[in-house]
Amino acid sequence: MPIRFFIKQWLMPPGLLLLLLLAAWWLRLRHPRLALGCFCLGAGGLLLMSLPLVVEQAARRLETEAALAPASWANLAKQADAIIVLGAGRERGDPAWGGSDQPSYMALERMRYAAALAKASGVPVLTSGGLHYGTPPSEAQLMAERLQADFGVSVAWKEETSRTTWENAEYTAKVLQPLGIRRVIVVTQAWHMQRARWSFEQNGFEVVPAPVGFLGREHARPFAGLLPESRAVWQNGQLLNEAVGLLGYRLFY
């Protein structure tokens, strides 16, 4: 896993773009035209990745599932028998919490939404997420603890083995389908929902999408989103990774 992660970080932006800039410097004397091309690709790519406008436009192409109308939450029990919250990483050893691991900000956004849906509908919750580099507790356990402590929502089931979106669906099927549960509400980021829904449907579920955290709407940023922002680099990286993942899933699963 660490080797695969290391390679992936250099094959995807911004790692790839930094390699292009390094290549431009290395080739500047012997192959100036090639160096110029590498520089333009590297610098231009970094500029585009830093623009909020690019975030919005890219997200709109991934965020194809509409948000659930709040007025419909109370009727979700007629459509599904479980709410599934997908893990989204963790923050390691936060001193503010006595050195214990905590769900990431993105995971908390999903948990908050899942808690609201559960309270409105009465549909039970499953948390899904395995170990982080083999270190316990699982993401599912962390989310279950915070859902209870912070939102007053008890988790009925935990899927604690998965490392990918496909495994979220595959291993959740082993937990829920023997109980006769095939209609599920899936909670994840709006830009991740296409891949999540496809994975769960391929594993035998009927999915009610519950996307949260939309990036592809108008955020009223100054100068129409054409000023570079550090956060946009991370967001564009997430969106590009998702686009590659969506294509890869269709090819390999």
Mean confidence (pLDDT) of the chain: 95
Once rounded to an integer, what is the mean pLDDT over residues 54-71?
A: 96
pLDDT at 213: 96
Once rounded to an integer, what is the mean pLDDT over residues 27-47?
A: 97
- The verdict on 109 and 202 lying in the same domain is yes
Once rounded to an integer, what is the mean pLDDT over residues 211-227?
A: 89
Cis peptide upstream of residue 136 (ω within 30 degrees of 0): no
Domain of 95: which CATH number?
3.40.50.620
- The verdict on 33 and 154 lying in the same domain is no
- The verdict on 82 and 189 lying in the same domain is yes
pLDDT at 4: 77
- The verdict on 14 and 133 lying in the same domain is no
Q: How far apart are CA 178 and CA 200, in angstroms?
A: 15
- The verdict on 6 and 75 lying in the same domain is no
Q: How many domains does the chain have?
A: 2
187 falls in which pLDDT band (50, 70, 90)? very high
pLDDT at 19: 96
pLDDT at 247: 94
pLDDT at 1: 56
Q: How far apart are CA 114 and CA 86, in angstroms?
A: 10
Write out the residue range of the structural domain in which residue 191 sits. 68-212
DSSP states of 81-115 as a string?
SEEEEE---EEEEEGGGTTEEEE-HHHHHHHHHHH
Residue 189 lies in a domain: yes
Whether 110 and 189 have beta carbons less than 8 Å apart is answered as yes
- More confident of the two residues 92 and 153: 153
